[in-house]
């Protein structure tokens, strides 16, 4: 069975789809069999991945927002992949809870603002409840996303992530134009600009979570 990464927070606009798509394309380029499941009714990730015949070539893509079919959809993809990346809606719903329940890791994107911190803390509670329900510890990390530059606000957010027990990663993802361009064209941001700073940031993020996500 594949490793299952769920990218989730009930705060919209934090870049869940961007991070999920970029990680999927990174692992594809590393030779892994990758699958994407889009559980957001808007299907932003699925539309991105299906826009071009070459952008996400070799990646299995499915979209299913039916909360009663989420687990079955994840496991169906997991049978044929090394890693399944699950994108969730930008609001709390039952589908997100079910996805978290089958995750090998949950990644919580957080923008450097108070509203994102608040929703990230709520996401931690969801993961805690899912862990109790499934009687297993579900690993999770937060990652600062859409960072424009290092400011006092960014540093303050990092400290708060630590204090709230949200396990912040060292990797940060900048607010890069390349992500918007890639989404518009249906391209992989890493393939579109392999030497761009965004590619390095995604690689650093992937390498930081791989020891837990792909643990035997």
Count of structural domains within the chain: 1
The per-residue pLDDT for 28 is: 96
215 within domain boundaries:
no
Three-state secondary-structure class, residue 143: strand
153 within domain boundaries:
yes
88 within domain boundaries:
yes
146 within domain boundaries:
yes
Q: Which residue range(s) make up the domain with 154? A: 3-209
Long-range contacts of 196-204 (CB under 8 A, 24+ apart): 198/22, 198/173, 198/174, 201/171, 201/172, 201/173, 201/174, 201/176, 202/19, 202/22, 202/23, 202/26, 202/173, 203/26, 204/170, 204/171
What's the predicted TM-score (pTM) here? 0.96
In this prediction, residue 144 has a pLDDT band, given cuts at 50, 70 and 90, of very high
Which tens digits make up the pLDDT trace of 46-104? 999 998 878 899 999 999 999 999 999 999 999 999 999 999 998 878 999 999 999 99
**Is the pLDDT higher at 81 or at 180?**
81
- Nearest CA-CA partner of 205 in 135, 119, 116, 108: 108
203 within domain boundaries:
yes
In this prediction, residue 149 has a pLDDT band, given cuts at 50, 70 and 90, of confident
214 within domain boundaries:
no
84 within domain boundaries:
yes
Q: For the domain that residue 33 is a member of, what is the CATH number?
A: 3.40.50.300
User: Is the separation of the CB atoms in 142 and 111 below 8 Å?
Assistant: no
35 within domain boundaries:
yes
Q: How many CA atoms lie within 13 A of 4 on its CB side?
A: 25
Distance of CA 197 to the CA centre of its chain: 19
């Amino acid at each position: 069975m594949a490793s299952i990464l769920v990218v989730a927070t009930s705060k919209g606009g934090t870049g869940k789809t961007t991070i999920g798509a970029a990680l999927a394309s990174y692992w594809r380029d590393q030779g892994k069999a990758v699958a994407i499941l889009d559980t957001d009714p808007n299907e932003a990730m699925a539309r991105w991945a299906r826009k071009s015949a070459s952008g996400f070539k070799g990646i299995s893509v499915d979209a299913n927002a039916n909360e009663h079919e989420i687990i079955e959809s994840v496991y169906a993809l997991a049978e044929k992949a090394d890693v399944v990346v699950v994108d969730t809606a930008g609001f709390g719903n039952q589908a997100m809870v079910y996805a978290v329940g089958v995750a090998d890791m949950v990644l919580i994107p957080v923008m450097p603002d108070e509203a994102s911190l608040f929703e990230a803390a709520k996401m931690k509670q969801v993961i805690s409840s899912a862990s109790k329900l499934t009687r297993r510890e579900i690993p999770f990390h937060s990652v600062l996303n859409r960072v424009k530059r290092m400011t006092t606000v960014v540093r303050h957010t990092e400290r708060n992530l630590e204090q709230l027990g949200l396990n912040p990663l060292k990797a940060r993802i900048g607010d890069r134009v390349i992500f918007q361009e890639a989404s518009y064209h249906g391209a992989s941001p890493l393939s579109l600009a392999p030497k761009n700073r965004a590619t390095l940031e995604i690689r650093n993020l992937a390498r930081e979570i791989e020891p837990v996500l792909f643990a035997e």
